[in-house]
Amino acid sequence: MKKGKKLYEGKAKVIFATNVKNLVIQHFKDDATAFNNKKKAKINGKGVLNNRISEHILLNLSQIGIKNHFVKRLNMREQLVKLVDIIPIEFIVRNIATGSLTKRLGIEDGTVLDEPLLEYCLKDDKLGDPLIAKEHIYVFKWATKKEIDKIEKCLLRINDFMIGMFRGINIKLVDFKVEFGRYKNNGKNEIILADEISPDTCRLWDAKSEKKLDKDRFRNNLGNLIEAYQDVARRLGILYEQANITPIKYMKPHSLKFKKTK
């Protein structure tokens, strides 16, 4: 398989063409952005960790029947994925109120929600990804009712699975954002989960201390982002410990070692 030209460059990832039909390469950069691109930085090793964490979560979701774009890992920063036509909506699932929800509605930070709250934002950087109602999706034909019904079922299953997966490693899944795309399969459009699921796109709090293990460390200048992402990877069992050689927090990102997937 050959890597082709750049097809698209986003804030944290680049998509490259390949010579294989319907497959592209997703490359994870070290760039971090927040507050609609107003805050930017390069954080050494973030892309490597997100590549691996997203692979782990998407592979697990495949096993419970959530179809997604992940095909295989190519190297530390790249994965082969199915080429999809992205639905221009950011689907947000919340279990605990924080971030924009608390600011928008004056809800107290940390309020545990009785049931998951689904929110929709239009994927448009120029407009600052505005919150929209489901009706906007239908009126402006960004997706059909049938597609949204399917996606909502998927969102709740993804949430259930991820709450359990993270609970098992003493992490609270506070909220997350996912994207879906249309994949052409034998002439038919199939809706599949795409993009990434990583500490860049989830809020993850340590179950006991409520320490933030996600991109809020960058948004709120808390520092030690790489250490927090490594902690998530280590708890997920995908980061080799070399603690007796070099304490993990002093390891340079390029020297990180990941376990091989079966």
Query: What are the residues binding ligand UDP (CB under 6 A)?
Result: 90, 92, 99-101, 129, 175-177, 201-203, 215
Distance in angstroms (rounded) separating the CA atoms of residues 59 and 71: 9
| Least distance CB 262 / ligand UDP (angstroms) | 29
Distance in angstroms (rounded) separating the CA atoms of residues 123 and 262: 35
Distance in angstroms (rounded) separating the CA atoms of residues 213 and 230: 9
| Least distance CB 29 / ligand UDP (angstroms) | 15
- Indicate the residue among 56 and 215 with the shorter CB distance to ligand UDP: 215
- Spatial CB neighbours of 177, under 8 Å, sequence gap ≥ 6: 90, 91, 92, 93, 201, 202
Residue 50 phi, psi dihedral angles, 5° rounding: -65, -35
| Least distance CB 116 / ligand UDP (angstroms) | 12
| Least distance CB 226 / ligand UDP (angstroms) | 17
| Least distance CB 101 / ligand UDP (angstroms) | 6
- Indicate the residue among 85 and 109 with the shorter CB distance to ligand UDP: 109
Sequence-ordered alpha helix ranges (H) in 209-261 = 216-219, 225-235
Closest chain position to ligand UDP (CB): 99
Residue 76 phi, psi dihedral angles, 5° rounding: -55, -30
- Indicate the residue among 100 and 224 with the shorter CB distance to ligand UDP: 100
- Indicate the residue among 18 and 198 with the shorter CB distance to ligand UDP: 198
**CB-based burial of residue 136 (10 Å sphere; 0-12 exposed, 13-18 middle, 19+ buried)?**
middle
- Indicate the residue among 69 and 215 with the shorter CB distance to ligand UDP: 215
| Least distance CB 3 / ligand UDP (angstroms) | 26
The length of the chain in residues reads 262
Are the C-beta atoms of 69 and 59 separated by less than 8 Å?
no
| Least distance CB 235 / ligand UDP (angstroms) | 18
Which value, to the nearest 10 degrees, does the dihedral of the CA atoms of residues 253, 257, 258, 260 take?
150
- Indicate the residue among 11 and 42 with the shorter CB distance to ligand UDP: 11
- Indicate the residue among 27 and 203 with the shorter CB distance to ligand UDP: 203
